[in-house]
Every structure is written in C-alpha cells, then in structure tokens.
Amino acid sequence: MRILEPAPGILGFYEGRDGVRYLPQENWVDDGALSLGIASYALLAGDHALVYDTHVAPDRARFIRKYLKDRGIRHFTVVLSHWHLDHVAGTEAFADCEVIANTRTAAHLLTHKSAIEDGSFHGAPAINPLILPTRIFDHLLALEGFGERVELLTFNIHSDDATIIWLPDRGILLAGDTVEDCVTYVGEVEYLESHVADLARLATLNPAKVLPNHGSPDIIATGGYPPGLITATADYTRALIDRRAARPLPDLLKPHLDAGHLHYFQPYEAIHAQNLARVAAIG
C-alpha cells in the first residue's frame, strides 16, 4: 500500500494498478477495485482522524488504523462514501468507532448484510462481520473538531447513496466514486439522467482539487485532479444516454485527455464495454 499526502493533513492509502492480485481466483477485490486502483483517505486534526472509507479488506483497514495510531491518532471517525463492498470491507477494524453514513447507505447495508457476510452477494471474499453505521444523516452534515469546515453532502452519482466530503476553506473535494479516472462505473443505469443532474450540482462546488477513490496514484499524490474531472464524467454519462459512446476510449475521451482532466488507463476498457452493454440492454 502506498501512503500519499495530496494536501496538508490529508493522507491517501492507495493500492492497485500494479498487477498484484489479492486472490488467484476471480473475486470482486481484484476485478472491481485493485485492477483499477483504489484509495481510502484520512483527514487528520490533532489526535483525531476522519477516515473516508475502510478499503478492500479488514487487513487493509487494520494497516490504516495502525499507521494512523503510530502517527499519534487516538480517536477515529469513519465516513462511508457509499455501500459498495470495496468501500465498506474494512469496517470490522473500526468496530469501536463512530461510523457515519447517509440514510440510503445505511438502508442498503442493512438490507444486504446477511448476503454480504456469507459471501453470496458478490461472491468471495465475504465481509464478516460487516459493521453497520452508528450515525445516520441526510443531505448535509457538518462535522466539528477538525480545525476547518467539514461538510458531508449526498448525491445520486454512480450509486444512489453517494456521500462526498467537502472542505470549503481549501476547495478540496473528496469525491468517493462520484468521479473516476478515466470513466465512471455504471451500476445503476436507470439513474443516468439523475447522475448527470447531480454531477452538475457537484460542479457548483467549484473545487480547486478533486480526490477520487479510483484514479491515478501519481495525480492524487501531487494534489489531485482539476474540476474538469467532474465535467468529463458528465460528458461521458451524456454520451452513454445519447448512444454516442460506442467508440474507443482514446477517441471518445480525447478532449478531456488533451486537457489533462483524464488519463487513459487500459483496464477501463472493460468497464466501458460493460457500461455500453448495460445501456443497450434497456433499449
């Protein structure tokens, strides 16, 4: 795992994009997370850390907690960006901490808890135990005690339960999976129009820097992405809706690749093909 520091007091715990597999057989950790690269984040303030997602496995989460403890952290608060497995798999390591999620994230996790814990939901590896949120909010939650304004905001992008962390004093957006480099993963094709509308709402924050969970470690390490990453995601989503996306990614994404909003990464070709198939299936 690489430890990145994109901004003062913000750490990124990054793994993947190196060909190293978690398990030899097909599994959601490798095929949905490590192959694309994934980061969890921590916002540090004194001896308190706000941990944004718990990574892909309990051992990764335990590593994050130990690393932060060795840095002098004694108090932990967890925020879940959404309910997908690669973001909640390490909750066991923070079972004694406050775990914050929005109402939809909490509902999804509760509904699927048994299947997630026995490994029947998305296959191996099972997440057992899955720790459910202890604090639930809707729309907006402002957190105190971090030396700056910290806002949790909800969106319907990528998943209908997205929570982002917005640091307005610095213009830093911790974006979860609302944006990815180089294309978004479409799991809820019925909400694509809502995704476009909420991407427009997300863009009104006008962030100086965007830190996605899935992206290039080199870009994250040097401070994050420009706000054009949001525009690029919206343009790609519109192309899917309008049936204009059935082109090779370097051609489809060229304006945003040229502008530096996106960086081509070949494993996203499989995500793109899957997105096209899901849109085609709805007619």
Cis omega (within 30 of 0) for bond into 129 = yes
Q: What is the pLDDT of residue 105?
A: 98
Over residues 190-203, the pLDDT tens digits come to 999 999 999 999 99
| Average pLDDT along the chain | 97
pLDDT above 90: residue 32: no
If you average pLDDT over residues 44-56, what whole number do you get?
A: 98
When pLDDT is averaged across residues 37-64 and rounded to a whole number, the result is 98
Query: Is 80 exceeded by the pLDDT of residue 283?
Result: no
Task: State pLDDT tens for residues 93-133.
Answer: 999 999 999 999 999 999 999 999 999 999 999 999 999 99
Judged by average pLDDT, the poorest of 16-20, 33-37, 259-263, 279-283 is: 279-283
The pLDDT score that the predictor gives to residue 2 is 98
| Structure confidence by residue, pLDDT tens digits, 120-179 | 999 999 999 999 999 999 999 999 999 999 999 999 999 999 999 999 999 999 999 999
Nearest CA-CA partner of 43 in 65, 66, 11: 11
C-alpha distances in Å from residue 36, one per residue of 22, 28, 29, 190, 236: 13, 12, 10, 24, 18
pLDDT of residue 30: 96
What mean pLDDT is predicted for residues 201-228? 98
Give whole-number Cα distances, 196 to 173, 183, 187, 203, 240, in Å.
Answer: 18, 14, 14, 11, 11
Whether the per-residue pLDDT at 46 is higher than 90: the answer is yes
Residue ranges of domains in the chain, CATH in brackets: 2-281 (3.60.15.10)
